[in-house]
Each structure stands twice: as C-alpha cells, then as structure tokens.
C-alpha cells in the first residue's frame, strides 16, 4: 500500500547506511560533492539507531545493502560490475550480492518443491543438495532426477519474496513522487514511470513460469550463435515457485584466476560477451538483461553459458534501428547524424538546435577514441551525459531503461575480464552488420513485403471500408464541400491505390 507511511522505509535506508558505517564509504565510492556528503551525514545521523544492524561479518556497504532487502540488492549487483565507478575494492566486496547471499533453509526449499509439484521430493529427485548459489530472488540446488538420472539445477523462490519486494517498491514510489514535487526539473526524467517499469520487471521475475518461457524463447533465438550455450528448461518439473533446468558445468565468469589456470583467453571472452549482447539486442530485440558475472559461466571449450532468465529485455524493430544508428554514428564519429537521429526519433524536443546538440555529443564521444578503456572514467562520462540530457530537455525513455542498464553491466563484466577492452571497437562489426541488414536496401524491400502482407489481409475488405467511410462522412456533414467528403474520398482512394501499388512493387522485388 502506497502512502506517507513509506517515509519510514526511506528514513531507515539512510539510518542503516549510517549505523553500519557504510555511508562514508558509499559517498567516497561515487565521489559525492562535499555539500552532498554534509547533507547526507547530518540528515542520517540522528536516526542511526533506527537502522538495521545487518551481518557484522560483511563489509559495511554490502552489510547495509543486504540488510535493506532484495530491491537494494539488485542495485548493488549492478554496482558490482562497475569498478570504474565505485573502485575495484568496492566492486569486489559487492560481488557477493550476485550469488553468494545467505540461503534459506533446505527444509523450506523442500516444502516449496513438494507444494509446487504435488508429490514427495524423493519421487522427483534421487539427490537434492544444499543450496549451491543464493541471490536476492531465489536460490539454486543441484539435484538428480529420479526417473532419468540426469543432473539438473532446481531454482526455488525465497519464501515471502513477493511481499518484501512490494515493500521496497512502495517506498520507491514515494521517493519518486517526492522528487517530482520538490524538483520540477526532474520530471523530464519521469522517475515514476521508471519505478513502474521496474515494478513490471520485478513481477515477471517473481513468477518462474514466465522465466521458463523467456529461457525457451531465448534458446530458440540463439541456438545458432557460436560460442554460446543455454541450459534446457524441464517444463514438467517447473512451476510458479520452482524451475528445473539442465545442469551447466563451467567456471564462474568472475573467477579470473580459475579462467587463467584453465587456459582461457579472458580478453576474447570479454569481447564475446559484449558482441553477444549487442547481437541479441539488435538482431532479435530480446536479450538477457541481467548479464552480471553471477549469471554467466565458461564451459571447458570456451563457450559462454548464460542462465537466470528472470529479467529479459525487449525492444521493437523501430527502436532497435534508432539505437543502431546512434551507436553507428558514434563509431563513425558522425555526431551530426547522431543528433539528427535523436531529433527524428523525438528524443530531443524539436525546439532545440541540432547543431548545438551535435557539438555536445562530440564532447561526449571524442574522449573515447584514441584512448584505452583504462583511461576513461565511466562515472565522469555518465555525469556529463546527464548534464547534456538536462540541458537539451531529453526525457527518460522507459523502453530503453533495461537496454541502457544492461549495456553498462555488460561493459563492466567485459572490463573485469580485461580492463583494456574498448566497447566501441568491439561493437563496430556487430552494429555494421545490423545496419547492412536492417537499414540498407534489403531492409526497404523487407519492409515493403511486410506492408504488402498486411494490405493483403485487408484486401477483400477495402471496398466495404471505403463505402463505410463515405457513408459516415456524408452523415456527419450537412453541406459537404470540396474539402469535405469529396476531398476525403479522393484521399482515401489515393491511399488504396498507393497501397495496391506498394503491394505489387514489394511482391515483384521480393
């Protein structure tokens, strides 16, 4: 339930960071300005006794985040992939949030399995291990099927996780409404819509049947991708609270020492992670939106294995083309074209100056070229981008939130494998291939063919649609003029004829 009572939750957030000793470290990690540091300490200190104590065996920031609950843990998981933003030491501390959280009891897990499948656990699995990984939403058990003897991974939701997430989301809504009220300039960022988007993603992640469906679709899309594997879903042993998949053998992507000992090329793996993500996002419009180290393994043959499909991103064909043109423009350092694409897509108000916007984009892009990635501060770059968007009145694009967030996470994963990887160099071949297929002449013919198919469906109905439009127009206008029913008749007829010509042209070309 949303309301002012959620102020208590926000107060406890600041109090928890203060009580655990995490406030100073967190502010240092993001290089907060002096004024922000003073305000945060002054406001949080009087309430420190209200904060959660957390696990004293954990480092302060990790201790605070885990004490606050699953929504905060999700945020910490993102930061764990950004050593260039929070520093390598903090990123290493936060990495335990990916799959090393305290598990719930095996008795609770057994109860969930039996409740979901409607039979004793021993009838389903001849072996059922203690948790092998535990994250914010669920934990995983290694098991062996009683009927086939195959090794599988059984994912079980945390008991009461729905209520815990809803409590955090309600507080986030209050924070978003407060920000919009106190800072009208923030409304262009649409904080409430961002929270609504986050809530929709979370609800999907809390139903493992939806995750199983996403895994199945993702596998169908990527089955021909070289160097990429996905475990298969076992639908008969899955439900809302549990999901069973084939066991994936491999080394954790975050264990660089183990990867080196096994003889893997970490730079090649990092580049492949980036290229796979871009390929899935641009080619399919359906991508893994939680690609941190805890959800990736490396097989003995060097293939990347992905799992945990609770958060998947989806973008339509038009948005993919816009995104590809923006990336391609940056790669070619054609900032005027990048600016034009922003205006054409409506991302920047038409009242702004396109040339001025192009110069601002040049100031963002130029420092990237001619430098290795270790010299680029992503924190400063993101801060400058925020200033640019504020200056030109750009609104937050909620459909791009997951794409942008995943791009940041994936780059962080790649750079944790090899710090000198440059995202622009790695992205270039993938984006160029997509441009050739989706924005060149072949794309025009493909679009025409799709238009012809749609027109073909309505072909038998076109005469009746024209007649209905004419009848409706004549009844609405008592004294039709040349620009009334007759003009609209000519416009509609022209549209029908044009549609027919397009159909014929498309079928002829294809």
Residues 388 and 364 sit within 8 Å (Cβ to Cβ): yes
Distance CA 37, CA 30 (A): 11
- DSSP annotation of 306 reads E
> Which is it for strands 296-298 and 304-306: parallel, antiparallel or unpaired?
antiparallel
Burial 456-487 (b: 16+ CB within 10 A, else e): eeeeeeeeeeeeeebeebeeeeeeeeeeebee
More confident residue, 89 or 217: 217
Cα 35 from Cα 64, distance rounded (Å): 23
Q: What is the pLDDT at residue 497?
A: 43
What average pLDDT does this structure show over 6-17? 79
Cβ proximity of 309 and 211 under 8 Å: yes
**What is the pLDDT at residue 32?**
62
Q: What is the reported pLDDT for 240?
A: 92
Q: Domain residue spans in the chain?
A: 4-98, 102-135+137-247, 249-439, 442-509
* C-alpha span between 402 and 311 (Å, rounded): 9
Q: Provide mean pLDDT across the span 330-338.
A: 85
Residue 504 — pLDDT band, cuts 50, 70, 90? very low
Catalytic one of 290, 308, 355, 447 = 290
Residues 68-96: tens digit of each pLDDT:
887 788 777 766 766 656 766 777 777 77
Residue 337, judged by CB atoms within 10 A of its CB (0-12, 13-18, 19+), counts as middle
Q: According to DSSP H, which parts of 155-230 are helical?
A: 161-182, 191-205, 208-222
- pLDDT attached to residue 313: 86
pLDDT score of 485 = 47
* DSSP state for residue 459 in the 8-state scheme: G
Q: Is the pLDDT of residue 344 over 60?
A: yes
Q: DSSP 3-state assignment of 452?
A: helix
Give the pLDDT confidence score for residue 181 in this predicted structure: 72
Closest by CA position to 388, among listed 407, 365, 368: 365
Q: Could you tell me which of 489, 458, 454 has the C-alpha nearest to residue 473? A: 489
Residue 493: pLDDT over 50: no
Distances in Å between the alpha carbon of 415 and those of 78, 262, 265, 361, 409? 14, 19, 13, 24, 10
Q: Does the pLDDT of residue 30 top 50, yes or no?
A: yes
225: region left, alpha or beta (phi > 0 left; psi from -120 to 50 alpha): beta
- pLDDT (tens digit per residue) in 128-147: 999 998 877 889 999 999 99
CB atoms within 10 A of CB 362: 16
Reply yes or no on whether 478 is catalytic: no
Q: Who has greater pLDDT, 409 or 493?
A: 409
Strand partners, 125: 145
Q: 493: how many CB neighbours lie within 10 A of its CB?
A: 12
CB 274 within 8 A of CB 427: yes
User: Percent of the chain beyond pLDDT 90?
Assistant: 27
Do 54 and 16 contact (CB within 8 A), yes or no?
yes
Residue 303: per-residue pLDDT: 95
Q: Where are the alpha helices (DSSP H) in 20-94?
A: 22-29, 34-44, 60-68, 70-79, 83-86, 88-94
| Cα–Cα dist 101/72, whole Å | 13
- Position 279 scores a pLDDT of 92
Q: Is 432 in a helix, a strand, or coil? A: helix
DSSP label at residue 287: E
Residue among 278, 283, 290 nearest 424 (CA): 278
pLDDT number for residue 463: 73
pTM given for the model: 0.71
**Spatial distance between the Cα atoms of 433 and 421, rounded to a whole number of angstroms:** 20
Residue-wise pLDDT tens digits, 266-289: 999 999 999 999 999 989 999 998
**pLDDT band at 57, cuts 50/70/90?**
confident
Q: How many CB atoms lie within 10 A of CB 117?
A: 19
| pLDDT value of position 509 | 39
> How far apart are the C-alpha atoms of 148 and 176, rounded to whole Å?
51
- Which pLDDT band, with edges at 50, 70 and 90, does 500 fall under? very low
Could you write out the three-class secondary structure of 239-251? CCCEEEEECCCCE
Distance of alpha carbon 223 from the chain centroid: 21
Q: How much is the average pLDDT of 224-232?
A: 93
For 441, the enclosing helix (H) or strand (E) is helix 441-458
Residue 499 pLDDT more than 80?
Answer: no
Where is average pLDDT lowest: 319-328, 346-355, 401-410?
Answer: 401-410
Q: Could you read off the pLDDT of 245-262 as tens digits, one per residue?
A: 999 899 999 899 999 999
> In which order are the strands placed within the sheet that holds 151-157?
125-134, 138-145, 151-157, 242-246
- 427-447 residue pLDDT tens: 888 888 888 777 766 666 766
Helix/strand/coil for 428: helix
pLDDT at 205: 78
Of 108-117, 199-208, 220-229, 399-408, minimum mean pLDDT range = 399-408
């Amino acid at each position: 339930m949303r309301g002012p009572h959620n102020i208590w939750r926000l107060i406890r957030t600041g109090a928890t960071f203060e009580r655990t000793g995490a406030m100073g470290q967190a502010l240092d990690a993001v290089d907060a300005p002096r004024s922000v540091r003073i305000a945060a300490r002054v406001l949080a200190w009087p309430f420190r006794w209200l904060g959660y104590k957390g696990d004293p065996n954990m480092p302060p920031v990790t201790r605070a985040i885990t004490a606050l609950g699953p929504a905060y843990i999700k945020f910490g998981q993102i930061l764990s992939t950004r050593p260039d933003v929070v520093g390598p030491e903090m990123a290493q501390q936060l990495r335990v949030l990916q799959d090393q959280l305290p598990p719930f009891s095996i008795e609770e897990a057994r109860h969930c399995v039996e409740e979901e499948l409607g039979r004793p656990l021993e009838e389903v699995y001849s072996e059922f291990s203690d948790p092998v990984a535990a994250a914010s939403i669920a934990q995983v058990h290694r098991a062996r099927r009683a009927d086939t003897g195959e090794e599988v991974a059984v994912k079980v939701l945390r008991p009461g996780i729905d209520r815990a997430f809803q409590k955090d989301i309600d507080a986030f809504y209050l924070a978003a409404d407060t920000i919009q009220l106190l800072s009208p300039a923030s409304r262009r960022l649409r904080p409430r819509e961002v929270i609504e988007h986050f809530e929709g993603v979370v609800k999907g992640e809390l139903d493992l049947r939806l995750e199983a469906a996403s895994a199945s679709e993702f596998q169908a899309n990527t089955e021909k991708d070289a160097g990429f594997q996905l475990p298969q879903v076992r639908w008969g042993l899955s439900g809302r609270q549990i999901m069973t998949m084939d066991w994936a053998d491999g080394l954790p992507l975050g264990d660089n020492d183990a990867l080196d000992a096994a003889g893997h090329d970490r730079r090649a793996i990092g580049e492949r992670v980036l290229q796979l993500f871009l390929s899935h996002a641009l080619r399919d419009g359906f991508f893994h939106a939680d690609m941190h180290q805890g959800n990736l393994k490396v097989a003995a043959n060097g293939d990347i294995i992905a799992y945990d499909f609770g958060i998947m991103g989806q973008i339509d064909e038009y948005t993919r083309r816009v995104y590809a043109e923006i990336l391609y423009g940056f790669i070619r350092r054609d900032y005027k074209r990048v600016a034009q694409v922003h205006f054409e897509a409506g991302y920047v108000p038409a009242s702004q100056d396109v040339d001025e916007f192009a110069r601002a984009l040049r100031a963002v892009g130029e420092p990237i070229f001619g430098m290795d990635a270790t010299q680029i501060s992503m924190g400063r770059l993101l801060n400058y981008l925020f200033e640019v968007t504020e200056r030109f009145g750009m609104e937050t694009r909620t459909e791009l939130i997951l794409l942008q967030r995943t791009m940041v996470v994936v780059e962080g994963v790649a750079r944790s494998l090899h710090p000198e990887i440059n995202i622009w160099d790695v992205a270039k071949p993938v984006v160029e291939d997509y441009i050739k297929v989706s924005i060149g002449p072949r794309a025009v013919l493909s679009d025409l063919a799709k238009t012809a198919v749609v027109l073909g469906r309505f072909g038998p109905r076109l005469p009746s649609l024209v007649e209905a439009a004419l009848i409706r127009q004549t009844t609405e206008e008592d004294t039709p003029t040349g620009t009334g029913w007759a003009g609209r008749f000519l416009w509609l007829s022209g549209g029908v004829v044009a549609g027919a010509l397009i159909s014929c042209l498309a079928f002829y070309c294809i």
